[in-house]
Structure 1
Amino acid sequence: MLFSYVDQCIRLLITQTLYCLSGLIPKQHKAVMGCYKNKFADNSKYLFLHWQRQQTITAIWISGDKALIKQLTQQGYLAYYRWSLMGVFHALTAKYYIYNSYIGDINQYFAKGAIKINLWHGSPLKQIEFDISNGPLHSVYHPSTWAQKLNAKALYHQQYVKPDFMLAASDTVKGLFRTGFKMTDEQFLCCGNPRTDYHRYYQINNHQTPFTNQEVKHVILYAPSWRDSSLTNDNNNIYAEAINFKALSTQLIDQNQILLLRLHPNEAHFAAELDQYPNIINITEWDDIYGIINKIDLLITDYSSIYIDALQYKCDIAFFPFDKAHYHSECRSEYSYVAKLPAAGPSVYNFAELQNMLKHMAVNAEPSLNVADSSRQAFCSPQTRQVLTNTFWQHSTNALDCLDELVKQGQHEAIKKPA
């Protein structure tokens, strides 16, 4: 135990020393960008691609994946391994840090003095950051004992580094980010997200799909949320326990449907044993799904905010919260406002109900919780869907234009960082 405390003290000292010293380095008008899990994905990816097209600012991709760096370099992009000489140089001297989760997407030790723009990776349905009130992440943001406080400062340095700016597509989202990240209203850019705005901006619709050469009736995307409880217990594949994938595969074949399986990056190892069945395609390792989301007929999720992005597309939405009680008690609670939202689609709670919904979709071209229950409406009405869209996508300004304007302003004058 003593060794653990000493080790944490040493780590804290090194981290804070490096971070503070990095603030003494003069910054140049350029942006370093990165993504969680060393991927090339999400909001930062699409802003990076936009800036490559428009040459708005010199943008440099930083990652710990050498294979990815090689691939991006071969495509003509500026990209460097995180701990290479040039990777460290750009991380130390960039005026802008732009990331999807935390500054560690780029380099958590060298960001002081840079303007930090957190594009985040979802709209808050479940509690985030300093709003988290239960589960294994609670002690990270709300340590109570001196041991927990030392642990939080030593191991979770980047979680305590506040961004200077974030994007908010609605006042609802802004209010949640404001408390979750302890920010002020002045720190928000009221606009959409690069990952959805990019494809509209450039009208791109050429993503190769794994079902291009197949005549299928429906393409279904199953994209559940990450279970925080896997931090302490990742041995049981809860998806294999909740779904009989062999039986599901047989049903999909009979109904001429394809299911794309997209697990959270933190649970990618669970997907490896689930991609052996026909008509079930594992796309967990894809960078993201925004190139094909307009080809999806039905999105099935649970507590993930991916359904909020899907509101901007034509696909129908359904929910499969098979472990709702466990999730809310052992992972994270939802924000209170979620219970007051109108439903974006039906909810099913076990495999039999899931099968019935997909079967009814195949027969009637729309899902229903129970074929015999005509009183149940399959999806929300257009009016209800519009209410949800307005709740989360109130501000129509394109994120790419908004971020262009921010960095162009910074090219000619110092951007005043919010206090």
Structure 2
Amino acid sequence: MKSKTIRKMYRKIFGLVGKLPKKENIIVFESFLGKQYSCNPRAIYEELKKQDRNFTYYWSIDHRFKKHFEEHGVRTIHRFTFKWFIVMMRAKYWVFNSRLPKWIPKPAETVYLQTWHGTPLKKLALDMDEVYMPGTTTEMYKKNFITEAKRWSFLVAPNEYSAEIFQKAFDFEQTMLKTGYPRNDYLFHYTREDVNDIKQRLNIPEGKKVILYAPTWRDNEYHFIGKYKFTVQMDMEAMKEQLGGDYFMIFRLHYLVSDHLDLNGYEDFAVDASRYEDIRDLYIASDMLITDYSSVMFDYGVLKRPMIFYVYDIESYRDMLRGFYFDFENEAPGPLVTTTNSLLEEIKSADTIRERYASHVEWFEDSFHSLEDGYASQRVTEAVFPEQ
């Protein structure tokens, strides 16, 4: 974003600004690099608003996505502008779900609540054997991650499993909040009217079963730093031919993927919702999930709906790119498939998946959902933001 010289200058200037007294009532929120009004920061923000607390709230945003925030009437500041730096340095609290650039200083008195953005299946940070991301090396990546994690005052864990991994993979030494995920509270409190509104917004035909396809990104497939590629590895003609009469597909690419899907000719069968602001709406609007190694499986599982795992590259992903924290191939709460034909078969028999994989589903829910009850946001706010 900036040259090394400019970054160095910024760091010095704002390091000085950061020594000014904190504005005790200012909180800055950011979700997925300022691209979305979503995830755990959104849930925490909305809980604080509901409590009518005496805070001044700012959302740190990427200016290209401003319209998503304007729709909700939130106060915004554009990332990396002069005003952004001043507000960041004076704010008492930061609530972010992804890392900040290492050259941005954190004032000593700032409380940094890192919510992160998923229960991990694939290995993270210090647990990764090799890093294939552009613009870094394995050693540099791990060093930067440790440096960032040392700035966090609190880290939210959705379950005990994640807490153990986060502590080790991030070398985290501060306060772990084992609360469940604030972003999943919504999955306990939505209404049928909410579902209908979402389907209308996406132009989903009435009466059709809805399939959400939400794959993750691949570390070694990229255009350049921070811009990852993704190609849909399924026969769309066959999918439409066999499913078009009864089903409709929602495609949701990972926020790091810069590609736009070309769904020309499939408008009556599929929609690209990759730029839709919050995936939680897509969860409740769908009848089943197709994913791969994405952490969406852990959130979607709260809804107790069928999940299919389309893992056409599982050998390379497991053995070369990341590796898994548990025996995904033998313990996944649904079928693993590698071809369009097998995917089609499982979609057509999706109603039986939870029964066919009953023991896996029970283990999955016991392991990852024991803290999920719709009130995680309350627990986080009570722990981090004292009553004034």
Normalization by structure 2: what TM-score?
Answer: 0.84
* Stretch moving more, 10-19 or 343-352: 10-19
TM-superposition CA deviations, 1:208-239 (whole Å, max 9, x none): 22566623342111111111111378999663
For the 8 Å contact 2:213–2:251, the answer to whether it is kept is: yes
Question: Aligned to 1:328, which of 307, 311, 318?
Answer: 318
Question: Aligned to 1:27, which of 7, 22, 40?
Answer: 22
Question: Aligned to 2:363, which of 382, 387, 407?
Answer: 387
In structure 1, distance between residues paired with 2:264 and 2:97: 28
Question: Aligned to 2:51, which of 51, 54, 57?
Answer: 54
TM-superposition CA deviations, 1:257-292 (whole Å, max 9, x none): 1111111122241x4224541311111111122124
For the 8 Å contact 1:101–1:118, the answer to whether it is kept is: yes
SS at match of 2:198: coil
For the 8 Å contact 1:43–1:100, the answer to whether it is kept is: yes
In structure 2, distance between residues paired with 1:45 and 1:275: 33
In structure 2, distance between residues paired with 1:201 and 1:15: 43
SS at match of 1:239: coil
For the 8 Å contact 2:291–2:297, the answer to whether it is kept is: yes
Question: Aligned to 1:89, which of 71, 86, 94?
Answer: 86
Question: Aligned to 2:178, which of 157, 173, 190?
Answer: 190
SS at match of 1:219: strand
Residue 80 (structure 2) pairs with residue 122 (structure 1): no
Counterpart of 2:344, as a letter, is Q
Residue 253 (structure 2) pairs with residue 263 (structure 1): yes
SS at match of 2:113: strand
Question: Aligned to 2:152, which of 135, 141, 163?
Answer: 163
In structure 2, distance between residues paired with 1:244 and 1:171: 39
In structure 2, distance between residues paired with 1:54 and 1:341: 44
Residue 217 (structure 2) pairs with residue 220 (structure 1): no
Counterpart of 1:227, as a letter, is R
- Structure 1 portions without partners, runs of 5+: 1-6, 368-376, 413-419
In structure 1, distance between residues paired with 2:71 and 2:323: 44
Cα displacement (A) at 1:42: 1.6
For the 8 Å contact 2:223–2:229, the answer to whether it is kept is: no
Counterpart of 2:297, as a letter, is Y
1:298 is aligned to 288
In structure 1, distance between residues paired with 2:15 and 2:137: 22
TM-superposition CA deviations, 1:356-377 (whole Å, max 9, x none): 222444xxx446xxxxxxxxx8
* Stretch moving more, 19-28 or 256-265: 19-28
1:273 is aligned to 262
TM-superposition CA deviations, 1:279-333 (whole Å, max 9, x none): 1111111112212412321111111111111111032111011011122344212
2:129 is aligned to 133
For the 8 Å contact 2:134–2:224, the answer to whether it is kept is: no
SS at match of 2:168: helix
Q: What is the count of residue pairs matched by the alignment?
A: 376
Counterpart of 2:285, as a letter, is K
Q: Mapping of 1:340-379 within 5 angstroms?
A: 342-361=331-350, 365-366=351-352, 379=356
Change (3 A) 1:199 1:343: closer
Cα displacement (A) at 1:13: 4.3
1:178 is aligned to 167
SS at match of 1:352: helix
Q: Which runs of 4+ in 1 moved over 6 A?
A: 232-237
Residue 377 (structure 2) pairs with residue 400 (structure 1): yes
Question: Aligned to 1:65, which of 38, 63, 66?
Answer: 63
Change (3 A) 1:201 1:351: closer
Cα displacement (A) at 1:119: 0.8
In structure 1, distance between residues paired with 2:228 and 2:84: 38
Change (3 A) 1:129 1:276: farther
Cα displacement (A) at 1:44: 1.1
For the 8 Å contact 1:345–1:378, the answer to whether it is kept is: no
Normalization by structure 1: what TM-score?
Answer: 0.78
Counterpart of 1:239, as a letter, is T
Change (3 A) 1:209 1:341: same
Cα displacement (A) at 1:401: 0.9
Counterpart of 2:21, as a letter, is P
SS at match of 2:294: coil
| Structure with larger Rg | 1
Q: Mapping of 1:222-241 within 5 angstroms?
A: 222-231=213-222, 239-240=231-232
For the 8 Å contact 1:63–1:82, the answer to whether it is kept is: yes
SS at match of 1:127: coil
In structure 2, distance between residues paired with 1:341 and 1:351: 21
1:80 is aligned to 77
For the 8 Å contact 1:50–1:198, the answer to whether it is kept is: no
Of Structure 1 and Structure 2, which has the larger fraction of its residues in helix?
1
Question: Aligned to 2:42, which of 41, 45, 48?
Answer: 45
| Overall identity of the aligned pairs, in % | 22
In structure 2, distance between residues paired with 1:15 and 1:330: 38
